[in-house]
Structure 1
Amino acid sequence: MYAIVEIAGKQFKVSKAQWLYTPKLQSEVGALLTFDKVLLLDDEAGAVTLGTPMLNGVTITAKVLAHTKADKVIVFKKKRRNGYKVKRGHRQAHTRIVIEDIIN
């Protein structure tokens, strides 16, 4: 059983007991979250239900495990023969969640 859900403006394919890195969510560690923007649901029998655009009555519960940062991305700019060099780094903030249940 899996579902396609929209979390923080991005779409994810989720199943039960799956760990997932999402864009940073404003929730405490250990908090339970419910997502109701489910776009597609595939049950155990293989029947696919497609929402137009969302499915009514289907929710996904998840638990926040941690707030982390991604690996550093280095941005280096240089212009030849001008003495111009800029080196910057960026680390995107993520939230790690685990999908606990898909309620149909």
Structure 2
Amino acid sequence: MYAIVNIKDKQFKIVENEYIYVPHIEANIGEKILLNQIFLFYKEGRLILGNPFIEKISVKIEILQHIKGKKIIIFKKKRRKGYKVKNGFRPLFSKIKIISFLKNS
């Protein structure tokens, strides 16, 4: 059983009782959230496609921790002009656990 969901405008394949890292979600650690933007749901040979989303199914997740990713370097240079700029940043991620798939009535 798995689903393809939309989290912060990115698509993720999620499986029940697994952990994934997603872009930072503005919620406290330990908080449980319902996701309702599901593109695809697969269970026991049955495939349900949304148009664009499935309205009958939602996913319950729990926020486990907020972390920073590896540093990403941005380097700009214009040749023969003496122009060089080096910047970088560390993106924020949230570690989430997929608790269950819920059927809405």
Normalising to structure 1: TM-score of the pair?
0.90
Identify the residue that residue 28 of structure 1 maps to in structure 2: 28
Query: Which residues of 2 match residues 6-45 of structure 1 at below 5 A?
Result: 6-43=6-43, 45=44
CA-CA distance at 1:78 after TM superposition: 2.3
Return the offset for 1:3. 0.6
Residue in 2 that maps onto 1:3: 3
The more displaced of 79-88 and 49-58 is 79-88
Separation (CA, whole Å) in 1 of partners of 2:50 and 2:77: 48
Instruction: Give the deviation of 1:58 after TM superposition.
Output: 0.5
List structure 1 runs of 4+ shifted beyond 4 angstroms. Answer: none
The one-letter amino acid paired with 2:37 is K
Count of aligned residue pairs for this structure pair = 103
> Superposition pairs for residues 1-104 of structure 1, below 5 Å?
1-43=1-43, 45-104=44-103
Aligned AA (1:27)? A
Task: Please give the secondary structure, in 1, of the residue aligned with 2:22.
Answer: strand
Q: CA RMSD in A?
A: 1.2
Q: Deviations over 1:5-46 (max 9, x none)?
A: 111111111011121111111100010011011111101x21
TM-score by length of 2: 0.89
Deviation at 1:49, TM superposition (A): 0.8
Q: Which runs of no fewer than 5 residues in structure 2 stay unpaired? A: none
